Structure 1
């Protein structure tokens, strides 16, 4: 089982500003993002995500086929404003994920669980939006440029993704952060190898131990 902190770092490395994060701040961004997501998840723990979407008047549209743009598969898309939120769910892409979710003796997740994971993820972003309280805004900004009379700061947007993963794990009672299934999919579909995956995990474990 891979620790939440490692899978959170896997997500954080996708941020455009990751290379500017000081090593001594990695734990801060990871731990605080996980904490925020977990706390939000505990408020709804045990609730059915479809029921939550209905209660919050979130419109769901299920689309049978997959959606790919430049070779990237989309499983869900969301449109939000203060009056209305709509989530499009691409059943073909979600089914592909569930079909490729077994790994080294672990049972695959079924379509329903894969769907719940994606809905939970988007529901967390919905909560951020309606409360105007994004994870990245709750954390320290990153100094990207410092001159004698000028300092430029920016937010680490991927912290919201880490929060969403932690929220889904807490809400659904998952064993690991759900972005683990993205890696299982990549391995089982031949887009990466087990060796490359474990090399990455080992590299990130060492980085967080430094």
Structure 2
């Protein structure tokens, strides 16, 4: 599956509620800014907390972590969820199904607990919630205007999702792109939908422009 973080980032942009308002010539900057935001926040925690685990860091930040067997809503399966102001839910059974799938396929390339990646992803959403100065909160898109008098702007959803995965990769020192978990988790429940996800991501890939140097 030859997909990069940039491919997944373009896919996240395609999912944004206001994707139709995002100028094409701003997409690269949005992706790069979001990825760098995640890296910067991870580096801050690594410098402050050293070798603490992601769960220990969350505890230091006053986050309550609740582990539940599983949770789903309509057509969406949850693996982790941040609830403001300081609670993160981790759904063990849902994650374990993905782990079992990899065992069945004899794939042993992942030397990290998937629940730690999920926790790190949600940890970024906690940080994002409590720091209005982050790029993910300050990057806006113009929706409409009243001449020179007023311009209505909106934040993006995709910036936080892109940054959260970049954050998880940096914080956990992963040697693979954690975005692949979106595909693995979905495949554990529905192979057909996972194939559809892969195709949607590939369909977004053709709009890539150049390379990023963000590490």
**How big is the shift at 1:170?**
0.6
- How many residues end up aligned between the 2 structures? 203
Alignment of 1:54-133 (within 5 A): 54-63=59-68, 65-81=69-85, 85-101=86-102, 106-107=107-108, 109=110, 113-133=113-133
Segments of structure 2 that go 5 or more residues without pairing to the other structure are 211-215
Deviates more, 1:68-77 or 1:178-187: 178-187
Distance 1:198 1:77 in 2: 23
**How big is the shift at 1:186?**
2.9
Distance 1:103 1:17 in 2: 39
**How big is the shift at 1:193?**
5.6
**1:155-190 deviations in Å (ceiling 9; x for gaps):** 112201111110001111223432211113334531
- Identify the residue that residue 30 of structure 2 maps to in structure 1: 29
CA 1:86–1:202 in 2, change beyond 3 Å: closer, same or farther?
Answer: closer
| TM value normalised by structure 1 | 0.82
CA 1:198–1:14 in 2, change beyond 3 Å: closer, same or farther?
Answer: closer
Deviates more, 1:120-129 or 1:100-109: 100-109
| Matched residue SS, 2:108 | coil
Segments of structure 1 that go 5 or more residues without pairing to the other structure are none
Of 46, 53, 56 in structure 1, the residue corresponding to residue 58 of structure 2 is 53
| TM value normalised by structure 2 | 0.81
Alignment check: 8 A CA contact 1:101 1:109 kept: no
